[in-house]
């Protein structure tokens, strides 16, 4: 299981890019932290989630 | 009536305490984006006596800014970086303000923000917010980011909170209101979010790392 934004999800084996697409995120508005470190956008496609990973996905809303 | 630097500082100490004010005196904070969030954050920090502010925005003051941004009619057409620096000088002339009219990009942000231990993300476009937050957390391994997401609309101000996403990222806002939804952008609500960001910055400087 992978903990994504505090919730256990069966996402192990999936790439970060695939997970973001499946969950409906617009990647241009997103910041992803994998196990406490920022994950550069260029690595979303080749980074596979593993059992025990902790992922934080922040999707920014516009306005300021 | 003139006030000496010593008298000004004594007034701050009466509100914040000497130990805390001594930390504010030497604090260094960057404010990226000087719109509804950034102009309010910068003024709050200057009023608190934060010693060094680094203001960054490439934009000019426009009439549509005036519902929420801390500029005046006379400042329309001026670069925001300069206009806000002028205002801060009337509030706290002893605040060391470095003001830059540049656009932050993935290529220049690490150089421009290299000396800033705390960075406020105060942009308006969601894509720019994500770029800055990812860029700073990735390129500046000691910087702490206080960002904002979700302050548009007429929803309750009570929905706006500060949360700690991870070790070096704090996020203020309701997390859901997007200006693109067309539900309005209310100055008072944006100011609530800016006050959350400024409060978190001052808490960090004072030594508190929980939201």
- B117 close to B53: Cβ distance less than 8 angstroms: no
The helix-helix angle for B18-26 and B5-16 (nearest 10°) equals: 120
ipTM attached to this prediction? 0.96
CB pairs under 8 A between A and B: 83
Q: What are the residues facing B148 on neighbouring strands?
A: B172
The H or E element containing residue A19 is helix A16-22
Question: In this structure, what is the dihedral angle of CA atoms B59, B60, B64, B67, given to the nearest 10 degrees?
Answer: 90
Q: Of B113, B132, B142, whose CA–CA distance to B204 is shortest?
A: B142
| pLDDT tens figures, B79-105 | 999 999 999 999 999 999 999 999 999
| pLDDT tens figures, B18-74 | 999 999 999 999 999 999 999 999 999 999 999 999 999 999 999 999 999 999 999
**Looking at beta carbons, which residues of chain A come within 8 Å of B151?**
63-64
**Looking at beta carbons, which residues of chain A come within 8 Å of B180?**
62
| Nearest CA-CA distance, residue A60 and chain B, Å | 5
- A64 close to B191: Cβ distance less than 8 angstroms: no
User: Of all residues in chain B, what percent are helix, strand and coil, respectively (each to 5)?
Assistant: 45, 20, 35
Length in residues, chain A? 64
**Looking at beta carbons, which residues of chain B come within 8 Å of A59?**
126, 149
Q: Is B130 on the interface with A (CB under 8 A)?
A: yes
The helix-helix angle for B18-26 and B187-206 (nearest 10°) equals: 100
pTM of the model: 0.97
Predicted local distance difference test score (pLDDT) of residue B1: 65
Task: Spell out the domains of chain A, with CATH numbers in brackets.
Answer: 2-59 (3.10.20.30)
The H or E element containing residue B118 is strand B118-121
């Amino acid at each position: 299981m992978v903990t994504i934004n505090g919730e256990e999800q069966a996402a192990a084996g999936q790439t970060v890019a695939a997970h973001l697409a499946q969950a409906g995120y617009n990647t241009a508005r997103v910041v992803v932290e994998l196990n406490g470190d920022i994950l550069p956008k260029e690595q979303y496609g080749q980074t596979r989630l593993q059992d025990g990973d902790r992922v934080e996905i922040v999707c920014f809303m516009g306005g300021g | 009536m003139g006030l000496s630097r010593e008298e000004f500082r004594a007034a701050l100490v009466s509100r914040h305490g000497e130990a805390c004010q001594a930390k504010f005196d030497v604090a260094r904070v960057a404010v990226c984006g000087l719109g509804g969030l950034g102009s309010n954050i910068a003024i709050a920090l200057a009023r608190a006596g934060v010693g060094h502010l680094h203001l960054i925005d490439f934009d000019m003051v426009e009439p549509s800014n005036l519902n929420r941004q801390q500029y005046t009619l006379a400042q329309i057409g001026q670069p925001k970086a300069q206009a806000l620096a002028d205002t801060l000088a009337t509030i706290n002339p002893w605040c060391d303000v470095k003001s830059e009219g540049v656009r932050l990009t993935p290529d220049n942000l690490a150089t421009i923000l290299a000396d800033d231990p705390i960075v406020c993300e105060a942009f308006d476009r969601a894509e720019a917010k994500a770029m800055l937050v990812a860029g700073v957390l990735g390129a500046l391994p000691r910087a702490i980011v206080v960002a904002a997401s979700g302050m548009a609309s007429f929803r309750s101000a009570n929905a706006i909170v500060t949360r700690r996403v991870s070790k070096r990222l704090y996020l203020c806002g309701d997390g859901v209101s997007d200006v693109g939804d067309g539900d309005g952008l209310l100055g008072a609500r944006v100011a609530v979010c800016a006050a959350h960001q400024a409060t978190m910055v001052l808490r960090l400087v004072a030594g508190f790392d929980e939201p």
